[in-house]
Amino acid sequence: MDTRANQFEDGGLAALGIELAAFANNLPGGFFVYEAHDDKRILYANEYMPRLFGCDTVDEFMEYVGGTFSGLVYHEDRQRVEDSVWAQIDSVPKDDAVLRDHVSYRIVDKSGALRYLDEYGRLIRGTARGDVFFVFVASVFTYEGAVGGSTVPPHHAVSAGVDVLTGLPSMPYYHGHTSEFLSRAFARGIPMVDVFFDVDHFRTINFRLGYEGGDEVLQRVGNVLQEVFPGDLLSRFSDDHFVLVTRRQGLEERLELAHDRVARILPGMNVELKAGVFELSPGETTIPFAHDRAKVACNSIKGRYDRHYRFYDQSLSIEEELRNYVVENIETAVASGWIHNYYQPVVRAQTERTCGVEALSRWIDPDRGMLSPVEFISVLEESRLIHLLDQAVIDRACEDLQRMRREHGVAVPVSLNFAPTALSLFDVPAMLDKKLREHDIEPELVHVEITESSLAEDPELLRSVIARLHRMGYKVWMDDFGSGYSSLNLLKDYDFDVLKVDMEFLRGMEGNDKSRTIVSAVTNLAHELNMTTLVEGVETRAQFEFLRSVGVDRAQGFLFSRPVPYDELVNDFFRRYPPE
Ligand code: C2E
Ligand code: MG
Ligand code: MG
């Protein structure tokens, strides 16, 4: 048998009696050639091309698209395709003579329907017509819905196969093609990975730039990923979540590259791309399992500035196991009294007397010992079970306040933390009101701490919750000020009573003149806006003295006490720092 299948002359096409033109016309997809310069004129198109566009002849097709490559691509995708093609060509290593690109885009056929094309291009330099692109295209599917017919904002509109915002394949398309994509790679012995991407603090970006600005950021993130991972299976699943199947080799460098390019999208604002990676075993072609693991790895580095990606490993499976345990056992934990309130005192800077305590919950498990809130709060938020914890914490706080009053004749106000999602998951003011009535506790004895990141969630809701809490007689504190992206400017939009600044934010300020100016400016501004200032995380006497000298009102931190159980608070701490 003759195995020289690529020999045109004697063995291959000629032996079949096929001429070059017939060959091009009988390819199993569209093929065309266009000039890489000026108007990008199409020089040749095979007979498959008109079919993709619902035209009968090549001439009709040429007229329909205006004879140019740009005219062929759906207008919303043009710039992205142009940028992506050249970025890919430019990134081909110098010693590789084959200048390739792989892009996906939409076209509009004659009936007005959008179709999704996958193109493989190759740049041929120095032909008689200058540089030209040879392009092979396959139609992936037809997008259902007429062009421009959608009134849904783009970030919600995901069709059966294409994500309208980024032009990337959508989840169903991705799921439908991973198995085949992986089989091909594994057949060639190429190690593959599943990657989950998330844009950290994307809500803040949306909040700051509005949805249109946020959409643009997502489009550009999509472009960057396409450029850095050409030819790979890439998709946007939802919101700011992108997924990718790619080869293992050289992954770290490519992830760093993508991270750095995304960080440059908005100078002055940190657009932080995080990636979780799951290494697929050869032959593994079902993706949901891998995908969940990649996501777990990605979530584990959210909010951490020192890590841009993480591979899924055994330690993560332990964390994951703990998360599952928390979700499955929260009801038991509440019912069995495993949820305890520890209290960390707050002292007044001038007098060093106790002026309040913060309730910090601890899950003391009969088998696992003490779990810290960082191990269970975010899980409970994500699984929408946070109200179970919050109810328990309020109950304990009310019981302890009653006891304090009964046994010690005083009751210092307790501040309670509410997670950002709690506000949208349940009616926090109503729940507080009900619990306090049950225990006969006045609202003046309970303060509500809302963390700064809530500002990014739903400003309207937050404003109305604060207003209701005020009407009911509660003080509302902003927790963790300075930890995220909030600006001083935001403070004027909300009616907080106390501004709680994390010492972390003030790190290194002692002895530094600029920091001194900043801290006293923040303090003065807070005072002018009728807010009290509290700095938490105070660990040294020097820090405390500094804070006192710039006029900070209250302090909290290990210098005074760690969070302690109720008994230790009243029997030990109150003796050293008497309540005012
Ligand atoms: P947070 O409200 O900002 O609480 C302060 C955290 O800093 C506490 O960690 C506290 O133990 C720690 N801390 C206090 N003083 C110092 C110090 O001087 N140095 C250092 N390095 N750390 C200090 P914890 O108790 O692990 O709580 C972590 C976070 O979990 C809290 O941050 C709060 O946001 C959340 N949290 C705790 N309990 C609850 C709760 O019952 N409900 C809700 N929704 N969130 C809670
Ligand atoms: Mg707090
Ligand atoms: Mg805090």
CATH, residue 21: 3.30.450.20
Nearest atom, ligand 1, residue 451 CA: 34
Q: Indicate whether 454 belongs to any domain.
A: yes
CB atoms within 10 A of CB 137: 22
Q: Indicate whether 321 belongs to any domain.
A: no
Q: What is the average pLDDT across 75-93?
A: 82
Q: What is the average pLDDT across 536-563?
A: 94
CA–CA distance from 506 to each of 26, 349, 352, 516 (Å)? 70, 17, 21, 9
* Boundary-marking domain end, from 121, 138, 158: 158
Q: Are residues 199 and 341 in the same domain?
A: no
User: Strands 446-451 and 475-481, how do they pair?
Assistant: parallel
Query: pLDDT, tens digit, for every residue of 209-228?
Result: 888 888 889 999 999 998 89
Following CA atoms 67, 73, 76, 77 in sequence, which dihedral angle do they give, to the nearest 10 degrees? -140
Helix (H) or strand (E) holding 402: helix 386-408
**From 85-99, 273-287, 298-312, the region with the lowest mean pLDDT:** 85-99
CA-nearest residue for atom 17, ligand 1, is 537
Q: Are residues 43 and 99 in the same domain?
A: yes
Q: Indicate whether 469 belongs to any domain.
A: yes
Sign of CA dihedral 516, 518, 523, 527: positive
Residue 140 has pLDDT above 70, yes or no: no
Q: Are residues 365 and 509 in the same domain?
A: yes
Q: Are residues 373 and 513 in the same domain?
A: yes
User: Strands 192-200 and 241-247, how do they pair?
Assistant: antiparallel
Q: Are residues 458 and 562 in the same domain?
A: yes
CA–CA distance from 454 to each of 13, 66, 137, 351, 483 (Å)? 67, 51, 47, 32, 12
* Boundary-marking domain end, from 158, 186, 214: 158
Residue tagged 């490519």 (tokens): 254
Q: Indicate whether 472 belongs to any domain.
A: yes
User: Strands 30-35 and 42-45, how do they pair?
Assistant: antiparallel
Q: Are residues 123 and 268 in the same domain?
A: no
CATH code of 291's domain: 3.30.70.270
* Boundary-marking domain end, from 312, 339, 357: 312
Residue 538 has pLDDT above 80, yes or no: yes
Interacting residues of 420 by C-beta distance below 8 A, sequence separation 6+: 381, 450, 451, 453, 454, 456, 457
Give me ligand 3 centre to Cα 292, in Å: 30
Nearest atom, ligand 1, residue 422 CA: 44
Q: Are residues 285 and 353 in the same domain?
A: no
- Rounded to two decimals, the pTM is 0.64
Instruction: Identify the residues whose C-beta falls under 6 Å from ligand 1.
Output: 344, 360-361, 372-374, 377, 393, 417-419, 449, 451, 479-480, 536-539, 557-558, 563
Residue 149 banded pLDDT, cuts 50, 70, 90:
very low
β partners of residue 105: 117
Q: Are residues 153 and 165 in the same domain?
A: no
Ligand closest to 373 (CA) is: 1
Residue 513 banded pLDDT, cuts 50, 70, 90:
confident
Residue 156 has pLDDT above 50, yes or no: no
Q: Are residues 100 and 18 in the same domain?
A: yes
Give me ligand 3 centre to Cα 247, in Å: 42
Residue 243 has pLDDT above 70, yes or no: yes
Ligand closest to 346 (CA) is: 1
Give me ligand 3 centre to Cα 480, in Å: 4
- Please state the φ and ψ torsions of residue 378, each to the nearest 5 degrees: -65, -35
Report how far Cα 402 is from the mean position of its chain's Cα atoms. Answer: 43
CA-nearest residue for atom 21, ligand 1, is 537
The span from the CA of 18 to the CA of 240, in Å, is 50
Q: Indicate whether 533 belongs to any domain.
A: yes
| Parent domain of 398 | 331-576
Q: Specify the pLDDT at position 141.
A: 53
CATH code of 348's domain: 3.20.20.450
Q: Are residues 76 and 148 in the same domain?
A: yes
Number of domains within the chain: 3
Q: Indicate whether 87 belongs to any domain.
A: yes
The span from the CA of 560 to the CA of 503, in Å, is 14
Give me ligand 3 centre to Cα 449, in Å: 8
Nearest atom, ligand 1, residue 386 CA: 44
Residue 289 has pLDDT above 90, yes or no: no
Nearest atom, ligand 1, residue 373 CA: 30
Ligand closest to 394 (CA) is: 1
Give me ligand 1 centre to Cα 501, in Å: 13
Q: Specify the pLDDT at position 158.
A: 37
Nearest atom, ligand 1, residue 419 CA: 44
Give me ligand 3 centre to Cα 502, in Å: 6
Q: Are residues 164 and 272 in the same domain?
A: yes
Nearest atom, ligand 1, residue 539 CA: 18
The span from the CA of 574 to the CA of 408, in Å, is 10
Give me ligand 2 centre to Cα 423, in Å: 15
Q: Are residues 71 and 133 in the same domain?
A: yes
Q: CB-based burial of residue 472 (10 Å sphere; 0-12 exposed, 13-18 middle, 19+ buried)?
A: middle
Q: Indicate whether 318 belongs to any domain.
A: no
The span from the CA of 264 to the CA of 62, in Å, is 39
Q: Indicate whether 286 belongs to any domain.
A: yes
Q: Specify the pLDDT at position 291.
A: 86
Q: What is the average pLDDT across 425-446?
A: 95
Residues less than 5 Å from ion ligand 3, measured at CB: 479-480
β partners of residue 499: 478, 533
